[in-house]
Every structure is written in C-alpha cells, then in structure tokens.
Amino acid sequence: MSFAKGQAVESTAPFLCENLLHNGALFSQRGLMAKLLDQAVETARRLAPERQDEIAHMMLFYADAPVIQLTPEEEADLAAADEEIARGDLATDEQVRALWAKPRP
C-alpha cells in the first residue's frame, strides 16, 4: 500500500497524534490506521511470546506518551535533514565511528 506525500488519514489509535507521519505519507482516514494496527498485531502474534511481550510493552509506553509539538525551528531543521538525505548527503561510516569515539560528558 502506498500513499502520496501529504495524503491524510485519521488515526484511530489514541496514542498517535491526529496527523501521523508514516514513511513519508500523512494519514488521517479512520480505516487505514485500524488496518495497519491490525496488521502489526497479527504479525506480532506469530512471534515468540517474549517478543510479543516486548512489543506490547512498547505499545503501552507509546500509548501513554505525550504528543510532542515541534517548534517552527525544529520543523525547519527536520525539513533540511530530509533534503540532505534526499540528496544523498549522509555521513560516511568513518565519520559516524569518529563521532561515537568522542568522549561523552
């Protein structure tokens, strides 16, 4: 299933913000989120019980998490990062290793 960027689908899950960004598509139609959530639960049911418990704990954690509203500056930073990714301006493996090697406070 694919969606055009900016396409709207209303979330039926209370823990998701009203406009959910998923793989570049903005959703706001009621049925799609229910179907996607059902698909995720069905997939989880095929996993080992320990994995099912991990997924359930994560879902419950996110269900109780507050929705974070980005500031205009944060939205601009995110848009700039998306543009960099689209252009292929990514850090090399060496740059990432150097970053992780730096001492942390």
| Bridge partner list, 26 | 21
Per-residue pLDDT tens over the stretch 28-76: 455 666 888 899 999 999 999 999 999 999 999 988 998 889 999 999 9
Spatial contact of 17 and 8, defined as CB atoms under 8 Å apart: no
Terminus-to-terminus CA distance in the chain, angstroms?
44
Rounded to two decimals, what is the model's pTM?
A: 0.40
Per-residue pLDDT tens over the stretch 70-102: 999 999 999 999 999 999 999 999 999 999 999
DSSP string, 24-63: TEEE--HHHHHHHHHHHHHHHHTS-HHHHHHHHHHHHHHH
32 vs 2, more confident: 32
